[in-house]
Amino acid sequence: MSHVVISEVFITVAAVVIISIFTATFLGNIQQLRDMQTMVTKSIEEKMSIDIKIIFATGVENESIVKVWVKNIGIGSISYDLIGKGDLFFGKVGNFSYISYNSSITPTWNFTILNDVDGDNRWDLGETILITIYLDSPLERGDYYIRYVTYTGEYDEYQFSI
Amino acid sequence: MSGYSSVFILAILTLTIIPISYLSWYNNQVLLSSYENLISTINERIISLRSYSVEVNESTIKWENDTSLSFWVLNSGSISIPVRDLKYIDLILIYELSRGGRSIIWIPYNPNGIVGSEIFWRIEGVRVGNGSPEIINKIYPSPGKYNVSPESGQWDPGEELLIVVYLTQSMSANTTALTIIVVSLKSGATCYAVGE
């Protein structure tokens, strides 16, 4: 009889241990899977929610200023500080270079939010910023290229001729 | 004892299965919600890319005088644009100044603008494609002009808006020179037009 009791205790303990291991492994894996999937979908969503379009850009011959109007057509908004974290490339087609933001040395660029409809100082959906590029030499006749890249890596490019 | 042991194991199994089931259900809900948000984002992007379109009727671009320019703009897309979204429309004007030189200027939408003292644009007329007045979602966009408040209505597909740009005297135009107009909707749908 005591053998029977001991073996039942062993079986019970073994069952508890096996169930605990199974539970820990199963729940751990589910948790990992959930976190991974959530991260992936959030990343895709964020990537898609930030989108921009250069609607117009132009300059005048013999002047050293280029104006670029860029619209936020994504769902997400971009804070004022992060607009400056974007990258701007400008130059003649096939010979453009990186322009640094808000530098004391030309070429450089800065921006203003033109229609901050809700006054939150953020670049929201449908709002437009004016990027002004200050060059180190006047514009000549030719074809010019602009690319603005947001902090998330989304970009748009534009060409114009003067 | 053997009977108790079975009951005990069954109880442990039950107590284990219930939280596992709950946590699985909870995790599924989180995942479903995250997928739902993603699909909603994708849908919104597709709608905004495909459904909005705008066209400036170039033949109607006309300088009324050296500080006032008018033209008709058609909603050539398939979605109505609420009047409250007109403030998101970008209007960029490139023209020759009467004092010489070229002006490249972004004009703000201001239905209550004061003519002569500020630069702005507003809506001063609505018609459908064949020239008849609009019937549905009537637009009252410019309280300053029509003494109607608040602004209301929708710019429906097929309807044309009469946009009038007002400049100040210091920015007056040489009305005989070429004028370039850029109109861009909230969605980014953009149209370029040239008037002479």
A58 and A116 part of one domain = yes
Q: A39 falls in which pLDDT band (50, 70, 90)?
A: confident
Q: What is the CATH number of the domain that holds B93?
A: 2.60.40
Check residues A67 and B25 and name the one with the higher pLDDT: A67
How many domains does chain A fold into? Answer: 2
How many domains does chain B fold into? Answer: 2
**Domain residue limits at A95:** 51-161
A68 and A78 part of one domain = yes
Closest C-alpha to A158, from A77, A106, A96: A96
Q: Which residues from chain A sit within 8 angstroms of residue B79, using beta carbons?
A: none
B24 and B101 part of one domain = no
Task: Give residue-wise pLDDT tens across range A73-116.
Answer: 888 889 999 999 999 999 999 889 999 999 999 999 999 999 88
Cα nearest neighbour of B13 on chain A: A19
For range A8-26, the mean pLDDT: 78
Interface test mutation site (partner B, options A40, A54, A73, A113, max chain B beta carbons within 10 A): A73
- Assess contact for A125 and A77: CB atoms under 8 A: yes
pLDDT of amino acid B72: 94
| pTM of the complete model | 0.76
Q: Which residues from chain A sit within 8 angstroms of residue B13, using beta carbons?
A: 15, 19
From residue B97, alpha-carbon distances to A155, B103, B169 in Å are 34, 6, 10
In angstroms and rounded to an integer, the radius of gyration of the C-alpha atoms of chain B is 29
B124 and B64 part of one domain = yes
A108 and A81 part of one domain = yes
B122 and B156 part of one domain = yes
A150 and A102 part of one domain = yes
Centre a 10 Å sphere on the Cβ of residue B181 and count the other Cβ atoms it contains: 23
pLDDT of amino acid B89: 94
A29 and A60 part of one domain = no
B38 and B65 part of one domain = no
A108 and A70 part of one domain = yes
Q: Which of the residues in chain B have pLDDT under 70?
A: 1-3, 48-49, 130, 140-151
CA angle A109, A70, B83 (to 5 degrees): 140
A133 and A64 part of one domain = yes
A106 and A150 part of one domain = yes
Classify the C-alpha dihedral B138-B144-B147-B149 as positive or negative.
positive
Residue A142 has pLDDT above 80, yes or no: yes
A86 and A16 part of one domain = no
Is the complex ipTM higher than 0.90? no
Cα nearest neighbour of A15 on chain B: B9
- Assess contact for A124 and A54: CB atoms under 8 A: no
For residue B133, whether the previous peptide bond is cis, meaning omega lies within 30 degrees of 0, is no
Burial bucket for residue B189 (CB in 10 Å: 0-12, 13-18, 19+): buried
d(CA A148, CA A155): 6
Confirm or reject contact between A53 and chain B (CB < 8 A): yes
**Domain residue limits at B121:** 54-195
Task: Give residue-wise pLDDT tens across range B143-153.
Answer: 555 555 556 78
pLDDT of amino acid B144: 55
Strand partners, A112: A130
A45 and A63 part of one domain = no
pLDDT of amino acid B148: 57
Q: What is the CATH number of the domain that holds A112?
A: 2.60.40.10
Terminal alpha carbon distance of chain B = 102
